[in-house]
Amino acid sequence: MIDRTAGILLSITSLPSRYGIGCFSKSAYDFVDWLQEAGQTYWQILPLGPTSYGDSPYQSFSTFAGNPYFISLEELIEEGVLTEEECEAADFGTKADDIHYEKIYKSRYPLLRKAYERSHISEDREYQHFVEENKWWLSDYALFMAVKERFLGEPWTKWAQDIRLRWKNAIDYYNEELYFDIEFQMYLQYKFFSQWRRLKAYANERGIKIIGDIPIYVAMDSADTWAHPELFQLDKENVPTAVAGCPPDGFSADGQLWGNPLYRWEYHKETGYAWWMSRLFSCFQMYDVVRIDHFRGFDEYYSIPYGAKTAAIGHWEKGPGIALFQKMEECLGKHEVIAEDLGYVTDSVRQLVAESGFPGMKVLEFAFDARDSGSASDYLPHNYPVNSVAYTGTHDNETIVGWFESIAAEERKKAREYLCDAYTPQRWLYKSFISLVMRSRAKLCVIPMQDYLGCTNQCRMNQPSTLGKNWRWRLTKEELTEELQKEIKELTMRYGRINRTIS
């Protein structure tokens, strides 16, 4: 990211598609072409892991596996392992701009199972090579998912004691008993990674780089925690002693109780951060740039006693600090990383970001907060350092239209004064905010697709601490117009951010 560049934030799930959810189908390739024509350099996506309860990409069954929802059914039809009639007969929901996750779950997995059973995959040499190359994580993950299915989807903490604690006789028993269920899970991962690598290669050939996103924590109900309890703050029965979250602040009187298991950082240090090196290696294989969520947790993390009802009684503990990233460079070389350093930022967090050399994030929506004028100034575009990534908002924020409608009158006044714009009708003001961010000094500017479309909060991707309405928004084909593409390209050229690798 040497030159001034720009990109668009859009989850894979939000792509238009025929079968209920965005995936690695033709629409993904069409979107890459659209980005190229719009002069963009980056496509930022959300985590690609298999999602659990709540459908959040930040709560995954594995930090290494991919989400089977992203497997293109069209490609399986072309392979001859599914028919178009079978896919058309399935109920994925009827709304082109929404995802019905329950219907997706009930419809996609039976189709994928049919595809597996017709594939003769065990005879495929490329599949065999994939399994051998990835067995260091794939064996545990496939067994985990197969056993979870046997226990009717229950979290591993509620399984029978022998397999919950991974006794050898139980591992051997389930590996034999669930052989074909395990192979099905391996087949899904083979298809996911085969299709993803082709899509990424296609994007890279057209000058588009992928910004991936990894959560700092893993889910409690994950293959990672089940297979490697020694990495986490668990007792001898593999019950957490403390969990992750955020303390109370002006936005939440009780704080946020995430419930993820916390790392046993002393153990990680003793092993040379081996698990983290494997995790980061996998990410650098999958993406061109990696955004690390909740970066401040590497400096200090908030520890909440297990069983607490809220985050109010937690306390701060020291994280690994710069040592982890020094080990990363030593083992893996230099890679492009974005540090998600949002929220309450202390001097020690600022020092860690500076030492790492990674660009931090600047979000315009935080700039005019009347409750916090001190830190808000960090988010005013004239203060953005070159080594930063600028956003109007992120997947966790309101759309820029919804944000302006929801803030206090005093904050709207401050924003208009900053824009030197008292006259633009409010319905078009989102374009002024996008231009404001684009002309900042930040070397990379990423705009959520909803903001380019001028969407209201009905199209918001996620509202933290809520369930049932998140991660559902989808783009329709009709919204990806040539007019919008031309407008974005002109804006990108105007502020010197055009993709110069494209002839």
Model confidence at 251: pLDDT above 80: no
Q: What is the pLDDT of residue 1?
A: 47
Give the domains, in start order, of the chain with CATH numbers.
Answer: 1-205+478-483+499-503 (3.20.20.80), 228-358 (no CATH)
pLDDT at 371: 66
Q: Please state, in angstroms and rounded to a whole number, the distance separating the CA atoms of residues 393 and 464.
A: 14
pTM beyond 0.85: the answer is yes
The percent of residues above 90 in pLDDT, for the chain, comes to 91
Please state, as a whole number, how many other Cβ atoms lie within 10 Å of the Cβ of residue 427.
9
- Asked if pLDDT for residue 415 goes beyond 60, the answer is yes
- 167-191: average pLDDT: 98
Cβ atoms of residues 384 and 390 within 8 Å: yes
CA separation for the pair 361, 342 (Å, rounded): 7
Q: What pLDDT was estimated at residue 287?
A: 98
Phi/psi of residue 251, nearest 5 degrees: -95, -25
Average pLDDT over residues 92-110: 95
Least confident segment among 31-40, 274-283, 493-502: 493-502
Residue in 293, 299, 365, 411 annotated catalytic = 293
Burial 53-87 (b: 16+ CB within 10 A, else e): eebbbbbbbbbbbbbbbbbbbbbbbeeebbeeeeb
Question: What's the pLDDT tens digit per position in 343-393?
Answer: 778 999 999 999 999 999 999 999 998 665 555 688 999 999 999 999 999
Confidence check: pLDDT of 52 > 90: no
What three-state secondary structure class fits 276?
helix
**Is 181 a known active-site residue?**
no
Whether residue 503 has pLDDT greater than 80? no
Mean of the per-residue pLDDT values for the chain?
95
Burial class (CB in 10 A: 0-12, 13-18, 19+), 377: exposed
Catalytic residue among 33, 300, 396, 487: 396
Reported as a single tens digit per residue, the pLDDT across 201-237 is 999 999 999 999 999 999 999 999 999 999 999 999 9
Annotated catalytic residue within 75, 221, 340, 378 = 340
Q: How far apart are CA 121 and CA 463, in angstroms?
A: 41
Pairing, β 300-305 against β 360-363 = unpaired
Residues recorded for the chain: 503
**pLDDT of the residue at 155:** 97
User: Quick one: pLDDT at residue 446?
Assistant: 98
The Cα 18–Cα 13 span in angstroms is: 12
The C-alpha atoms of residue 223 and residue 186 are separated, in whole angstroms, by: 14
d(CA 493, CA 315): 47
Q: Any catalytic annotation for residue 293?
A: yes
Identify the pLDDT of residue 301: 96
φ/ψ (deg, to 5) at 51: -90, 150
